[in-house]
């Protein structure tokens, strides 16, 4: 028998209207009345019914996030940090966080559709892709969303991201400054928007240093540690030999490090390795990984904040936020 406004009304002798107005902070309730009602509500442990509020207000006060979990062995530190940021910020803004788990594929759109019909007021979209069907769907339905990931030429939407191009330029420049000229790159999947920017940065920096871009030194991974390990197997087999391997994210870089060591090389001495993200594992890797820091937790908070502002009709100071990653030099590059 949950406590409702009716319960408090019966207990205090005021109407449901007065109780609602007292609890809601309206100024047309006598102070003595308000105090009595507040004390009674507190004593009875009253909690407003979320369903009733949402029905009346036509608002869910909930945001949605679908994590692209690719399978039972899903493990990506990126999402741990992101979820921590989003979760903390949504709680701070008094919004609920509805989480789904669905990898890209034929069922992906269904997962997004299931979050509709009054369940969420907006969505955070991660790892935006070229001609992303999720984006088209959300734009078509008018569902508010903010992306952690850039848009491409065909789609335009609010986002937070880091400038992968600038970041990769810094990383390549760092390696060139250390004397490297044959630098391999394990790129994220090409359909991901940020992949192209990171490859562009890699290519531009090589060019700026008079080093020809060689497509043979680039292999695509799928952001997992295994694909990084496999990518390094390929890259280490190239002749003339490479002296550095970069990866489009830390997880692949850590995988690449495993292969480098497995092949008998010393990471940072024989082969330099660099990543992107600066997930916590990067710092405690052996050796610690040189990487480009994107503040994943803060980005989580920021995309959440932006989304809730859009939902609440609060104008954004910036609709598209591109952050500059910071080069974190650790022992994996010497």
Asked if residue 58 binds DNA (CB under 7 A), the reply is yes
- Which member of 11, 20, 93, 204 binds DNA (CB under 7 A)? 20
> Distance between CA 167 and CA 144 in Å, rounded?
29
For a copy of itself, the binding residues (CB under 8 A) are: 2, 47-52, 54-55, 60, 67, 69, 71-77, 79-81, 83-88, 91, 96-102, 111, 113-114, 116-119, 225-226, 229, 255, 257-258, 261-262, 279-281, 284-286, 297-298
> Distance between CA 322 and CA 36 in Å, rounded?
51
Asked if residue 215 binds DNA (CB under 7 A), the reply is no
At closest approach, how far in Å is the CB of 49 from DNA? 3
> Distance between CA 22 and CA 35 in Å, rounded?
8
- Which member of 10, 11, 23, 175 binds DNA (CB under 7 A)? 23
At closest approach, how far in Å is the CB of 10 from DNA? 11
At closest approach, how far in Å is the CB of 269 from a copy of itself? 14
Helix (H) or strand (E) holding 14: none
Residue 254's nearest CA partner among 236, 227, 216, 235 is 227
Q: Which is nearer to DNA, 13 or 313 (CB)?
A: 13
At closest approach, how far in Å is the CB of 225 from a copy of itself? 5
Q: Report whether 236 contacts 260 (CB < 8 A).
A: yes
Asked if residue 28 binds DNA (CB under 7 A), the reply is yes
Asked if residue 48 binds DNA (CB under 7 A), the reply is yes
At closest approach, how far in Å is the CB of 61 from DNA? 11
Beta strands in the chain (DSSP E): 62-67, 96-101, 122-126, 145-148, 159-162, 183-187, 218-220, 244-247, 272-274, 291-293, 320-323, 326-328
Give the alpha-carbon dihedral of 83, 86, 92, 97, to 10 degrees.
Answer: -80
DSSP 213: P
- Contacts to DNA by CB under 7 A: 2, 4-6, 13-18, 20-21, 23-24, 28-33, 46, 48-49, 52-53, 55-58
């Amino acid at each position: 028998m949950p406590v409702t406004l009716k319960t408090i009304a019966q207990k205090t002798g005021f109407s449901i209207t007065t109780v609602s107005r007292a609890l809601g902070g309206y100024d047309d309730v006598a102070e003595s009345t308000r105090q009595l009602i507040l004390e009674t509500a507190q004593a009875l442990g009253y909690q407003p019914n979320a369903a009733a509020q949402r029905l009346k207000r036509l608002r869910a006060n909930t945001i949605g996030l679908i994590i692209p979990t690719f399978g039972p062995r899903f493990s990506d530190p990126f999402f741990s940090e992101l979820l921590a940021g989003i979760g903390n910020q949504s709680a701070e803004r008094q919004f609920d966080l509805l989480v789904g788990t669905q990898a890209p594929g034929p069922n992906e759109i269904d997962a997004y559709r299931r979050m509709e019909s009054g369940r969420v007021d907006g969505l955070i979209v991660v790892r935006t892709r070229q001609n992303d069907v999720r984006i088209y769907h959300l734009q078509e339905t008018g569902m508010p969303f903010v992306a952690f990931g850039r848009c491409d030429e065909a789609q335009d939407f609010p986002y937070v991201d880091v400038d992968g191009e600038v970041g990769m330029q810094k990383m390549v420049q760092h390696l060139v400054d250390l004397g490297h000229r044959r630098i391999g790159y394990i790129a994220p999947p090409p359909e991901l928007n940020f992949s192209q920017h990171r490859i562009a940065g890699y290519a531009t920096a090589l060019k700026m240093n008079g080093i020809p871009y060689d497509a043979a030194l680039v292999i695509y991974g799928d952001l997992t540690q295994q694909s990084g390990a496999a990518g390094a197997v390929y890259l280490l087999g190239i002749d003339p030999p490479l002296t550095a391997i970069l990866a489009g994210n830390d997880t692949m870089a850590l995988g690449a490090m495993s292969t480098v060591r497995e092949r008998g090389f010393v990471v940072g001495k024989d082969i330099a390795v660099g990543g992107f993200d600066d997930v916590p594992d990067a710092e405690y890797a052996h050796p610690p990984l040189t990487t480009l820091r994107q503040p994943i937790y803060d980005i989580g908070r920021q995309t959440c904040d932006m989304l809730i502002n859009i939902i609440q009709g609060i104008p954004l100071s910036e609709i598209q936020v591109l952050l500059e990653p910071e080069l974190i030099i650790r022992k994996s590059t010497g």
